[in-house]
Amino acid sequence: MTPHSDGAVAGAGPRPRVANLLVAVLCLTWGSTWFVIAIGLRDLPPFTSAGVRFFCAALVMGIVAAALRRREGGAAPPWWLALVMGVSQFSVSYGIVYWAEDGRLPSGLVSVLWGTYPLMIAVAGHWFLEGERMRLLQALGLIVGFGGVALMYATDLHAMGQDKLFAASVLLLSPLTVCAGTVVIKRYGAPYSSVVMNRNGMAVGALLLLAAAWITERDAEANWTPAAVASVAYLTLVGSVLSFGIFFWLLRYGSATRLSIVAYVTPVVALALGAAVLDEEFGALTLTGAGLILLGVWLAGRRNDR
């Protein structure tokens, strides 16, 4: 297989219906992970929980990688690409998410703020990915979406206190890091096996997260309760192996901007689960801001010639 000029792979990709179904799976699974992370953090320190999750995921990917690689095709990825993936997609991004959800921000609000990722990828794709230049509706989406973020900052987040305002600002570094890594992977990763790249990236991410846990959480209490074990197991198999396997496989063939549609729905799923199960409360202005973010990212994902 050879990459096109826009980073896509020449050859048999997923059929449109299959791709749409897989995107729907991503929306549901990643929408649930914010809630499941919060469950696990009741008993586990953040870096420990995230590190064990991706260590287990790397082990599972190592078992299935050989068989899946034969079906997928693609060369073995270089070490530097695994390093980029491990740092951007797993260690830094999820380290920040787990840190934020560890009593600093509600899981639903974390997912909403992370919903700015499509806005970021639209801008990055315009400048750095051939074939993904931003159009008028996408520019409008940027304005609307960031207006929603500003509304949340100016009202409900401010009412929560300066510590949560700071946590929300740090949280935005997570999608920004993922955006940068996705651009690099899209530009240079098309000829390589997404399965092997995913496995290697998870291994790198796990090592970095476990190193952070050893440095900062040696005295922290980790209670491996049934709920904590179930949380890590779900996040390993569904939130990591299945979801990232689908995501990076689709990324080989499709537009990074269009694939970011998964972030349109995940905040809705996360807010619903957080409110229903964790009794997380959000004011009207928070929900209004969330609606503006969703509208903005939907517009940003539209492709037209105007």
Q: Is 283 a member of any domain? A: yes
Positive or negative, the Cα torsion across 29, 31, 36, 41?
positive
User: What is the pLDDT at residue 253?
Assistant: 85
- Kindly tell me if the per-residue pLDDT of 267 is higher than 70: yes
**pLDDT over threshold 70, residue 10:** no
Closest CA to 81 of 2, 8, 185, 195: 185
Q: What is the 3-state secondary structure (H, E, C) of 232-254?
A: HHHHHHHHHHHHHHHHHHHHHHC
Residue 6's pLDDT is 43
| Spatial distance between the Cα atoms of 26 and 244, rounded to a whole number of angstroms | 9
pLDDT of residue 1: 35
Of 115, 259, 244, residue with least CA distance to 183 = 259
Separation CA 33–CA 61 (nearest Å): 19
Closest CA to 45 of 304, 203, 293, 232: 232
Asked, for residue 160, whether it belongs to a domain, the answer is yes
**Residue 149: half-sphere exposure toward Cβ, Cα within 13 Å:** 23
Whole-model pTM: value is 0.86
Residue 306: inside a domain, yes or no?
A: no
Q: What is the DSSP letter of 278?
A: S
pLDDT category of residue 12 using cuts at 50, 70 and 90: low
Question: Closest by alpha carbon to 141, among 275, 236, 260, 266?
Answer: 260
Domain that holds residue 116: 16-301
Q: Is the pLDDT of residue 304 over 50?
A: no
User: 155 or 98: whose pLDDT is higher?
Assistant: 98
Q: Is the pLDDT at 97 greater than 50, yes or no? A: yes
Residue 110: pLDDT above 80? yes
Mind listing the pLDDT tens digit for each residue in 284-303?
777 888 888 888 877 876 65
Distance between CA atoms of residues 255 and 166, nearest Å:
33
Residue 6 lies in a domain: no
The mean per-residue pLDDT over the stretch 128-137 comes to 82
Distance of alpha carbon 162 from alpha carbon 223, whole angstroms: 30
Q: What percent of the chain has pLDDT over 90?
A: 50
Structure tokens at 70: 């034969």
Overall average pLDDT of the 13-34 stretch: 88
User: Rounded to an integer, what distance in angstroms lies between the CA atom of residue 159 and that of residue 154?
Assistant: 8
Instruction: Retrieve residue 18's tokens.
Output: 């299959």
Q: Is residue 191 part of a domain?
A: yes
Q: Give the three-state DSSP class for 170.
A: helix
Of 291, 289, 282, 267, the C-alpha closest to 154 is: 289
Enumerate residues 6+ apart whose C-beta is below 8 A from 149. 113, 116, 289, 293
Q: What is the mean pLDDT of the chain?
A: 86
Residue 8 within any structural domain of the chain: no
- Considering the domain boundaries, does residue 7 fall inside one? no
Q: Which of 251, 267, 259, 298 is nearest to 85 (CA)?
A: 251
Closest CA to 261 of 252, 250, 271: 250
> What average pLDDT does the segment 58-70 reach?
90
Say what the pLDDT of residue 132 is: 82
**Highest mean pLDDT of the ranges 88-92, 190-194, 262-266:** 88-92
Tell which residue, 222, 269, 278, has the closest CA to residue 39.
278
Residue found under tokens 């995940």: 266
Residue 164 pLDDT greater than 90, yes or no? no
117/261 Cα distance (integer angstroms): 10
Based on the structure, what is the number of domains in the chain? 1
Whether residue 1 is contained in a domain is answered as no
Looking at the predicted structure, is the pLDDT value of residue 180 above 90?
yes
Provide mean pLDDT across the span 125-144.
Answer: 83
